[in-house]
């Protein structure tokens, strides 16, 4: 099969499988279940593989919950920062549990859930995040319930609670101490629950992560409180498995060379722009030639970063930008009306499959 035209997102199932096998190992050693966080990754063309190693999906909206139900199967955890009454009614027709963000929403909509198991998000006041923007325990946070007394009051309505307090946390000791603090503070509440979710943001598939210690910690917590334990991996499930494959359209010079790609940071890797980070370049390899790599939108700051590469880039060269799955494909947009990258999957058997192409019609129908 001919290679697809750039730009395109390329998901490698063999690389994805590495993460999935670690998730499976955690499931076996700790007894904790793992549900895919769709807010991070929703590309359902690889769900048949992922569903073999994970227990279901968790969502942040009605459409995500429906996608998990229709395309992933298995358990569907439906959470939202704010539900409407109609959304609660609709999601309750297929979800396995509904998790509310506040006590007011729990009380208002509990009777609309058809007797489903109900959960509540708790803000434990501790967190791990490199960015205030993503810190769930930041000052004035609206995410989860703070008052322990209020939680105890509504405990009879609940079957479980969710603590989502990490973002890109690859430090086991940080997670371990926070979990100890949660266990101590909420002990009486936890012993009344059937399940507890520890949310996502834990980089336990990262190379060198102390997996056995992690599993022992999870197992001890699960056994101490007699609960079904859930993890909600997003980036941990898909890190390192996808690239944005692009072509250099032009090279301009203003003090140093800038290579302009047929893709855009603003439109196709927005999360990096939001957090002021830079993607890595998988190809060409690193070397001694400095270059700025930039997008083709009109935004002056549409820049992927400054790199030193093995070769000088010229028009027609390909550039592969790393980690183009988590919080990337779900945030792509039509800024400047730029062509949307296709979605391609390299299957386990090595076959390259283009699973989605986008056209002017997609751009047109997203507007009015």
Spatial separation of the C-alpha atoms in residues 295 and 341, rounded to whole Å:
13
Mean pLDDT of the chain: 96
Report pLDDT for 56: 98
Please give the C-alpha separations between residue 349 and each of 9, 75, 166, 290, 323, in angstroms, as whole numbers: 18, 28, 35, 37, 22
Report pLDDT for 37: 98
Task: List Cβ neighbours of 76 (8 Å cut-off, separation of 6 or more).
Answer: 56, 57, 59, 65, 68, 69, 94, 95, 96, 97
pLDDT higher than threshold 90 for residue 242: yes
For the record, the structure tokens of 300 come out as: 């002056």
Please give the C-alpha separations between residue 289 and each of 244, 315, 333, in angstroms, as whole numbers: 21, 16, 32
Of all residues in the chain, the percent with pLDDT exceeding 70 is 99
Instruction: Give me the mean pLDDT over the 87-101 stretch.
Output: 98
Instruction: Give me the mean pLDDT over the 117-138 stretch.
Output: 93
Sequence ranges of the domains in the chain: 13-238, 240-365
Give strand pairing partners of 346: 12, 352
Report pLDDT for 178: 95
3 band by pLDDT with thresholds 50, 70 and 90: confident
Report pLDDT for 198: 97
Instruction: Give me the mean pLDDT over the 334-342 stretch.
Output: 97
* 166-225 tens-digit pLDDT: 999 999 999 999 999 999 999 999 999 999 999 999 999 999 999 999 999 999 999 999
Q: What is the architecture of the domain spanning 240-365?
A: Beta Barrel (2.40)
* 8-61 tens-digit pLDDT: 999 999 999 999 999 999 999 999 999 999 999 999 999 999 999 999 999 999
Helix or strand holding residue 307 (H, E)? strand 303-309
Report pLDDT for 368: 85
Report pLDDT for 280: 97
Spatial separation of the C-alpha atoms in residues 100 and 47, rounded to whole Å:
26
Fold entry, domain 13-238: TIM Barrel (3.20.20)
Report pLDDT for 2: 67
Start-end of H helices in the chain: 13-30, 47-50, 62-67, 85-91, 103-109, 148-154, 172-185, 187-190, 211-225, 235-238, 265-268, 270-275, 360-365
Whether residue 302 contacts residue 260, with contact meaning beta carbons closer than 8 Å, is answered with no
The two beta strands, 318-322 and 281-283, are antiparallel
Phi, psi of 247 (to 5 degrees): -125, 140
């Amino acid at each position: 099969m001919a290679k697809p035209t750039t730009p395109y997102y390329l998901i490698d199932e063999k690389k994805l499988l590495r993460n999935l096998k670690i998730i499976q190992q955690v499931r076996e050693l700790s007894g904790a279940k793992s549900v895919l966080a769709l807010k991070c990754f929703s590309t359902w063309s690889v769900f048949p593989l992922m569903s073999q190693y994970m227990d279901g999906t968790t969502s942040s909206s009605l459409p995500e919950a429906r996608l998990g139900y229709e395309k992933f199967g298995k358990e569907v955890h439906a959470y939202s920062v704010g539900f409407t009454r109609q959304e609660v009614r609709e999601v309750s027709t297929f979800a396995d549990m509904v998790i509310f963000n506040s006590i007011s929403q729990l009380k208002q909509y509990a009777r609309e859930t058809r007797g489903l198991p109900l959960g509540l998000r708790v803000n434990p006041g501790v967190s791990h995040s490199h960015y205030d923007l993503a810190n769930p325990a930041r000052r004035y946070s609206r995410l989860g319930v703070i008052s322990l007394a209020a939680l105890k009051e509504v405990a009879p309505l609940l079957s479980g609670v969710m603590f989502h307090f990490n973002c890109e946390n690859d430090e086991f000791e940080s997670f371990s101490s926070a979990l100890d603090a949660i266990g101590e503070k909420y002990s009486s509440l936890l012993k009344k629950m059937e399940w507890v979710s520890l949310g996502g943001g834990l980089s336990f598939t990262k190379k060198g992560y102390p997996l056995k210690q992690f599993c022992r910690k999870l197992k001890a917590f699960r056994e101490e409180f007699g609960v079904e334990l859930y993890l909600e991996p997003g980036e941990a499930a898909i890190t390192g498995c996808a690239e944005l494959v692009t072509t250099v359209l032009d090279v301009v010079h203003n003090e140093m060379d800038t290579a302009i790609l047929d893709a855009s940071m603003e439109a196709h890797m927005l999360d990096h722009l939001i957090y002021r980070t830079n993607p890595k370049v998988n190809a060409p390899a690193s070397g001694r030639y400095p270059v700025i790599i930039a997008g083709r939108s009109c935004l002056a700051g549409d820049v992927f970063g400054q790199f030193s590469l093995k070769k000088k880039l010229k028009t027609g060269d390909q550039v592969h930008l790393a980690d183009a799955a988590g919080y990337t494909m779900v945030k792509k947009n039509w800024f400047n009306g730029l062509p949307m990258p296709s979605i391609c999957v390299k299957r386990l058997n090595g076959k390259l499959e283009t699973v989605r192409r986008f056209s002017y019609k997609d751009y047109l129908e997203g507007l009015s």
